Structure 1
């Protein structure tokens, strides 16, 4: 069996919120099997708990935000991608503000700390959502589809009318090693004109060249340049990993995106979960000894 994991130790982060500009502290704590990822707004009294699930998404404008009538937590996608990428199924997230710190604009700081904290088995098997029929969401020239596959894979095709970005395509065969080594460090990006407009409207208040790739008329403004020649599409795939993790299960399927973003990612997860004829929930019966977070192809169907 492949078993659920939690953190070996708690770990704390502190940093600026990309949109709020506020300094926020966040602590990850171990959790029992079946808990999932649960955010706790500890700055309000009494504290408010919000499960990181698609049903609790309340906004996808500029980032992914979960919430309820009492509180919200925004910009969760990079942290969620890091937890998924490191094989963490269960964790409590104590946060003293409305937004996850942006750190350096990527998932790499979260990944490094989670790997240092280590993982601990929870003693109960994982369930995988295995796609059996294609599911798509189309809006104009934007499209996202998930189709049956023997593994988890994300392919992304992006295009902007700017010479520094233009079109980029990349496909990731998901594994812990591939995600953490080749995608986690890809930073969020934005166009200078859009950033200035957002700040004028009280958004992106914490955005800077320290936590985002900023693109001006002539190209990238960051002195250090890009971390990868195709950093933009790698970051889009990173975001997709975080957003798709809100399905609440490990995924087996091929996500194919064209100009997608947080909104379409969320709509795809919602549509997939709405159609139980298009997937099954299964458990893997074997586990490779040297790759504790990678599934084997032998499956055993279980009840939801």
Structure 2
């Protein structure tokens, strides 16, 4: 089986904003991750990073003197909620544990970085395998709730091919995870593809839909009820623009609890019985496309490109994380 070459950015790029849940200002900086950068960033952990045969997405917090870091993967998915108010709830976003050493699991994490799913999704969707992601705050900026700005940054930077290859995870055994009314499964395949089915029932104002992303160069297909996005172009034009969404009742409840005070209905996709408030859908299947966007980002935490087909229905981050961990087990 031929293994693809690694790809990183050509130039460093950055964007600033505030976190969705923390409201904390932060700048995210994306940089090329070549061997000299690995040495400069990871110090004694450089050998560990170079030994990673899958993705080399290194996250580092630059707002603390210790500059803790990690290589994104199943072993650093954080169980620490983005806010103490969410302690008894399923994860509202994807967070990673950061350590001074970066990789010693015996060392206690000293920090986390939250809401990483959108930047991970953009990196995978735009064909990047190696990158340094530095954030000077506790949470990746939410921007407009999509990964459009991150995809644009990657396009602006340009890409370069590295000398070594990346080893994909070959799915050999199907895995099915079911929890209440959610289901996610992976089946063996010669390509990497993901499908998300969104159906909250006839009474929900959120539209039903089925959306897929296939990591190849075929033409994308779209209609009002289904989308198949393909390759980098399909990701950039169809998946990346899809925004985080919630119902108006949920947004009101969160604001009463002290969250989202820095946001308005013009800043994110808030939906009531008549549709989006103070905005319009970017695509008839924007909600399903955003769930697909999250799925791509969360499954990056398997640690490598996946040769398999993943199908999810009504899943959130918890089920996505469980599948990333299960898929990673098939590397062993």
Classify the TM-score, shorter chain.
0.7 to 0.9
Cα shift at 1:111 = 0.5
Q: 2:196 is matched with which residue?
A: 156
Asked if structure 1 preserves the Cα contact closer than 8 Å seen for 2:245 and 2:270, the reply is yes
Asked if structure 1 preserves the Cα contact closer than 8 Å seen for 2:207 and 2:287, the reply is no
Q: 2:72 is matched with which residue?
A: 52
Q: 2:115 is matched with which residue?
A: 75
Q: Deviations over 1:240-264 (max 9, x none)?
A: 1100011111111111111111110
Q: More displaced, 182-191 or 25-34?
A: 25-34
Asked if structure 1 preserves the Cα contact closer than 8 Å seen for 2:303 and 2:328, the reply is no
> 1:91 is matched with which residue: 105, 119, 131?
131
Cα shift at 1:163 = 4.3
Distance in 2 between the 1:206 and 1:121 partners?
Answer: 40
Cα shift at 1:166 = 4.2
Q: Which has the higher strand share?
A: 1
Q: Does 1:168 align with 2:209?
A: yes
Q: More displaced, 154-163 or 188-197?
A: 154-163
Asked if structure 2 preserves the Cα contact closer than 8 Å seen for 1:164 and 1:220, the reply is no
Cα shift at 1:238 = 0.6
Q: Deviations over 1:63-91 (max 9, x none)?
A: 11111420001110110011111111111
Q: How does 1:23-172 map to 2 (within 5 A)?
A: 23-32=25-34, 34=50, 36-59=56-79, 61-68=91-98, 69-161=109-201, 162-172=203-213
Q: How does 1:2-41 map to 2 (within 5 A)?
A: 2-32=4-34, 34=50, 36-41=56-61
Q: Deviations over 1:220-248 (max 9, x none)?
A: 1033x100001000111111110001111
| TM-score of the superposed pair, with normalisation by structure 2 | 0.79
Unaligned runs of 5+ residues in structure 1 are 281-303
Q: 2:320 is matched with which residue?
A: 265
* Root-mean-square deviation (Å): 1.8
